[in-house]
Structure 1
Amino acid sequence: MKFIFDLHKTMLENNLILVYEGEFTQEITKSVLAMAERNMDSIGEESSTKRKVFNVMVECLQNIVKHGDEESSVSKQAIFMIGKKNDKYVITSGNPIKKENVEGLKSKLEEINSLDKDGLKTLYKEIIRNTSISDKGGAGLGFVDMARKSGQELEYDFKPLDEEYFFFSLKTTIKRI
């Protein structure tokens, strides 16, 4: 019983309004998005802020769904959280990725974080023009879009899970209007 109280206390302290941990499917993604939308509607959030938050949430959730390795039980260990503070929303996701994909992803995120608003716009257009995007994505378009919508650097981390997988954490902050 102490665990549930401690979890509740932690969620309040971190202003978390939605947390989901487990397997992510398209149906679960739709439910998570609907719950977050209802929450923002109930507090009368500005529509432009809502659009940005919703867009970033979709990108985070799609990243988890598309890039999970279906053959591994470790891939079912994903998490998604959204928190609201007075002046901002914080959207955080985490999911396992294969060790061999860490450097490429880190490189993409470093490039994105090094760009200003105009640089992000140029990169976005360049990716759309010059890249054939597979079913799993991979061109980094979602991350560029998240950086553009948030106007902030994307915070990220990679922690080893075992010899084959790392846990990729991503945090995006969106200022409220």
Structure 2
Amino acid sequence: MKYVFDLHKTMLAHNLILVYEGEFTQEITKSILAMAERNMDAIGESSGVKRKVFNVMVECLQNIVKHAEDLNERGEDGLRNNAIFLLGKSVSQYLINSGNPVRNESIEFISSKIDQVNALDKEGLKELYKEVIKKGEISEKGGAGLGFIDMARKSGQKLEYSFEPINDEFSFFSLQITVPREE
């Protein structure tokens, strides 16, 4: 039972106010968003900051639902397609973290998209957003590539990411977005 206390201490140390690990569905996503909204309302967060955090959370959670690889069907190494979502709050910012398995062959593509977004300033992001909307190309998983652009635009910050190898076929993709608490 000590692990519960250890987890509690870790959450306090990292200012985590919401953590969910497991399967992500549209219903679970709605519940996570509702909990986050109640939490921000309870502390009297400004509507502008709430809107930015909420928008980034929606994009992050949609990415998990649409793009997490299903390890369940494969039964490899006893791995499941569980993903994780964390929301943390400090005096000056919110930290939105997500993680999910991805195929190793997707790493270069994902990295290049995020690096492209991170290389742009506010105006460059606006132009890239317009360009992607105009092209309107939808991937086989239902995405148009706007998620990373939108997260960077809403947060006004660079996106941080990493890939941790799981096995020869999959890695765990972690993404962190920071949203300043001042408008």
TM-score range, shorter chain: over 0.9
Report the Cα offset of residue 138 of structure 1: 4.1
What is the aligned partner in structure 2 of residue 49 from structure 1? 49
Match of 1:115 among 109, 117, 120: 120
Supply the distance in 1 between the matched residues of 2:8 and 2:26 (Cα, whole angstroms).
27
2:182 is the counterpart of 1:164: no
98-107 or 136-145, which deviates more: 136-145
Paired amino acid for 2:49: T
SS at match of 2:21: strand
Report the Cα offset of residue 77 of structure 1: 2.3
Listed as ranges, the matches of 1:89-168 within 5 Å are 89-134=94-139, 136-168=141-173
2:13 is the counterpart of 1:13: yes
Paired amino acid for 1:77: N
TM-score (norm 2): 0.93
Supply the distance in 2 between the matched residues of 1:97 and 1:4 (Cα, whole angstroms).
29
Supply the distance in 2 between the matched residues of 1:58 and 1:75 (Cα, whole angstroms).
23
Supply the distance in 2 between the matched residues of 1:57 and 1:69 (Cα, whole angstroms).
19
Structure 1 runs (4+) greater than 6 angstroms displaced? none
Residue correspondences, number: 177
5+ long unaligned stretches in structure 1: none
Supply the distance in 2 between the matched residues of 1:19 and 1:167 (Cα, whole angstroms).
17
What is the aligned partner in structure 1 of residue 66 from structure 2? 66
Supply the distance in 2 between the matched residues of 1:140 and 1:67 (Cα, whole angstroms).
11
Paired amino acid for 1:4: V
Q: Percent identity?
A: 66
Report the Cα offset of residue 21 of structure 1: 0.4
Paired amino acid for 1:153: K
Report the Cα offset of residue 87 of structure 1: 0.8
Supply the distance in 2 between the matched residues of 1:143 and 1:17 (Cα, whole angstroms).
23
Q: Deviations over 1:42-63 (max 9, x none)?
A: 1111001000000000111100
Report the Cα offset of residue 135 of structure 1: 5.9
5+ long unaligned stretches in structure 2: none
What is the aligned partner in structure 1 of residue 34 from structure 2? 34
Paired amino acid for 1:31: S
Q: Is the 8 A contact 2:24 2:82 kept in 1?
A: no
TM-score (norm 1): 0.96
